[in-house]
């Protein structure tokens, strides 16, 4: 049985474009306002959503996502809120995944977390700090319930490592476009296309590029060589900078529409 995420990549391949994937931390700006934002993104042309599990010690997150995570944690966001947000996104018609560091999974219980993801309509989980050498238990738990395992590869990854990690991925392979933490950039890293090419030589899975995409032009550029474009910090910054909740929703809706054009212009 294929996940909604896997079905999405078949669909966009048929449309000769990339998938537009948005990232938002659960509970940001609040539990309900996060769901409002997801509904706005769904109606504005986003194809899938990454729900971030806010964490107090993130190794991959830049200052914008850290600020949003801090707001979320101060609001009391935990596993229950993450799963509720996941279900909301699924019910809104978006293939949905959770992005989380390993510690919250371990605390929740590995088998229980995988089952909870599946129960709430989740297609998969992105685990940026879980190495494949330490993921045997997680692989068994997710395969038992049909949840995609998504690992992150960086430009520094060796070709041997890329082959090893890609073999453990399902759904898609997450290609970090540059070394460093998340955050919107004015220009895209030249290493992104090279990394995607190296990943493609090892797997037939879709490859999605994250870290730095914030404009229609960047989305168009990435679509020229990748199957998915992941945008997080740009949406979060729009919500952080907005004078009101309504203004924030209008801003992310306008940005999503612009990015949705970009992923259709790149080929």
Determine if the peptide bond prior to 196 is cis (ω within 30°): no
Catalytic positions are: 50, 61
Q: CA neighbours within 13 Å on the CB side: how many for 123?
A: 25
Tokens matching residue 186: 């004015």
Rounded to an integer, what distance in angstroms lies between the CA atom of residue 170 and that of residue 189?
A: 25
Rounded to an integer, what distance in angstroms lies between the CA atom of residue 223 and that of residue 212?
A: 14
Task: Compute φ and ψ for 124, nearest 5 degrees.
Answer: -170, -175
Rounded to an integer, what distance in angstroms lies between the CA atom of residue 253 and that of residue 36?
A: 11
Q: CA neighbours within 13 Å on the CB side: how many for 236?
A: 32
* Residue ranges of E strands in the chain: 19-25, 48-52, 96-99, 124-126, 148-150, 152-153, 173-176, 207-210, 228-231
Q: Work out the burial of residue 228: count CB atoms within 10 Å of its CB; fewer than 13 is exposed, 13-18 middle, 19 or more buried.
A: buried
Rounded to an integer, what distance in angstroms lies between the CA atom of residue 207 and that of residue 228?
A: 6
Tally of CB atoms within 10 A around 30: 16
| Three-class SS state of 207 | strand
């Amino acid at each position: 049985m294929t996940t909604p995420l896997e079905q999405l990549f078949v669909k966009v391949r048929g449309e000769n474009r990339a998938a537009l994937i948005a990232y938002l931390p659960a509970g940001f700006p609040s539990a309900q306002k996060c769901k409002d934002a997801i509904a706005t993104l769904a109606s504005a042309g986003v194809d899938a959503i990454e729900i971030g599990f806010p964490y107090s010690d993130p190794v991959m997150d830049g200052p914008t996502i850290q600020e949003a995570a801090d707001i979320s944690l101060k609001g009391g966001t935990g596993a229950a809120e993450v799963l509720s947000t996941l279900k909301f996104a699924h019910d809104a018609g978006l293939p949905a995944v959770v992005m989380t560091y390993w510690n919250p999974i371990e605390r929740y219980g590995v088998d229980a977390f995988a089952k909870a993801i599946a129960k709430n309509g989740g297609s998969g989980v992105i685990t940026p700090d879980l190495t494949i050498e330490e993921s045997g238990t997680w692989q068994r738990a997710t395969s038992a319930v049909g949840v995609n395992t998504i690992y992150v590869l960086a430009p520094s990854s060796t070709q041997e490592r890329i082959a090893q990690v890609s073999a453990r991925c399902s759904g898609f392979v997450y290609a970090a476009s540059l070394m460093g933490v998340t955050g919107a950039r004015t220009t895209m890293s030249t290493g992104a296309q090279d990394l995607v090419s190296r990943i493609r030589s090892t797997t037939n899975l879709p490859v999605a590029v994250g870290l730095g995409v914030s404009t229609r032009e960047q989305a168009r550029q990435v679509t020229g060589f990748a199957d998915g474009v992941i945008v997080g910090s740009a949406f979060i910054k729009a919500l952080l900078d907005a004078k009101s909740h309504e203004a924030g929703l209008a801003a992310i809706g306008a940005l999503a529409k612009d990015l949705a054009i970009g992923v259709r212009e790149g080929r």
